[in-house]
Structure 1
């Protein structure tokens, strides 16, 4: 014996009368063009920024760096005292780049992006961790950094920032 509740039947008939003539949605998500374009535009802008800064890095250019002792460089006109401050760890890096496991092209692209980000965010000291490994990035990173016009100086990092496997970079921040 099944007893049906008369109230349920009334409610069902009322509901069916209320939704009579309503069509079912086939797709209820609206995708606007602006949202898609803004994501694409941001990707284009960030890739253009990286490409603009990647221009400075040539694999054929070799600056005169001291091969004896720790890796160091100071642009013409930069005091040797600034390099000494880097060596002693007086400048504390605000941005870090870890290049472990990257290919040369990836490392070059990431280094360019990091320098662009440092300039954009007014970060004057950064740490580039190239690692030791097969000495490929350890040899290339200083050559790339010496080519960038906004790099004032760099020095092998003190032990607390990576020692032989890292460089502290002093960046010239243009006034806005």
Structure 2
């Protein structure tokens, strides 16, 4: 044991600390508050939704499955949507919403698509009484970000759903 005590005392002499180490205090930078969801901004978004979608406007849509292609876009987009070549990344279910709520949700979805760089989304209106299903195409035609839309193929909801192609800003 004597050797162990000698080793311990030798170690303590060798590693002797001359001064104490003081903790340095670091002042953390507080993040700036995010005002993106403030009531004022939400009001602006709701006004934009009301601006984009008029209930009185009725687009001239062809008979058959719901479909639309913007003038500057290729009509081949409709064929690609019908075949299911585009896979939707975001989905919106309008079941149980009023028309006003549905308008706001559709505008928010299109805005989210542009913000998140998502080019294809699906909107499910369901069958129900058909009010939202009837109005949805007329609302989508009015939005400047909508490139094209088509009734979804069966594996994405069929007649109760619409696939939408959204223009992604550069």
Do they superpose with TM above 0.5?
yes
**What per-residue deviation string (whole Å, max 9, x for no partner) do you get for residues 104-141 of structure 1?**
11101100111111111111000000011111001000
Q: Which residue is equivalent to 2:77?
A: 82
Q: Is the 8 A contact 1:53 1:116 kept in 2?
A: no
Q: Which residue is equivalent to 2:95?
A: 100
Residues 140 and 38 (structure 1), Cα distance of their counterparts in 2 relative to 1, 3 Å cut: same
TM-score when scaled to structure 1?
A: 0.74
User: Which of these residues, 50, 56, 62, is aligned with residue 54 of structure 1?
Assistant: 50
**What per-residue deviation string (whole Å, max 9, x for no partner) do you get for residues 78-113 of structure 1?**
111111100111000010000001111110110011
Q: Which residue is equivalent to 2:104?
A: 109
Q: Which residue is equivalent to 2:126?
A: 131
Q: How much has 1:57 moved relative to structure 2? A: 0.4
Q: Is the 8 A contact 1:129 1:165 kept in 2?
A: yes
TM-score when scaled to structure 2?
A: 0.76
Q: How much has 1:174 moved relative to structure 2? A: 1.1
Residues 129 and 65 (structure 1), Cα distance of their counterparts in 2 relative to 1, 3 Å cut: same
Count of residue pairs the alignment pairs up: 140
Q: Which residue is equivalent to 1:13?
A: none
Q: How much has 1:51 moved relative to structure 2? A: 2.8
**Equivalent-residue separation in structure 1 for 2:117 and 2:43 (angstroms):** 20
Structure 1's unaligned 5+ residue stretches are: 1-33
Structure 2's unaligned 5+ residue stretches are: 1-29
Q: Is the 8 A contact 2:49 2:103 kept in 1?
A: no
Q: Is the 8 A contact 1:49 1:116 kept in 2?
A: no
Secondary structure of the 2:44 match is helix
Q: Structure 1 segments of 4 or more deviating over 2 A?
A: 37-54
User: Which of these residues, 137, 140, 143, is aligned with residue 138 of structure 2?
Assistant: 143
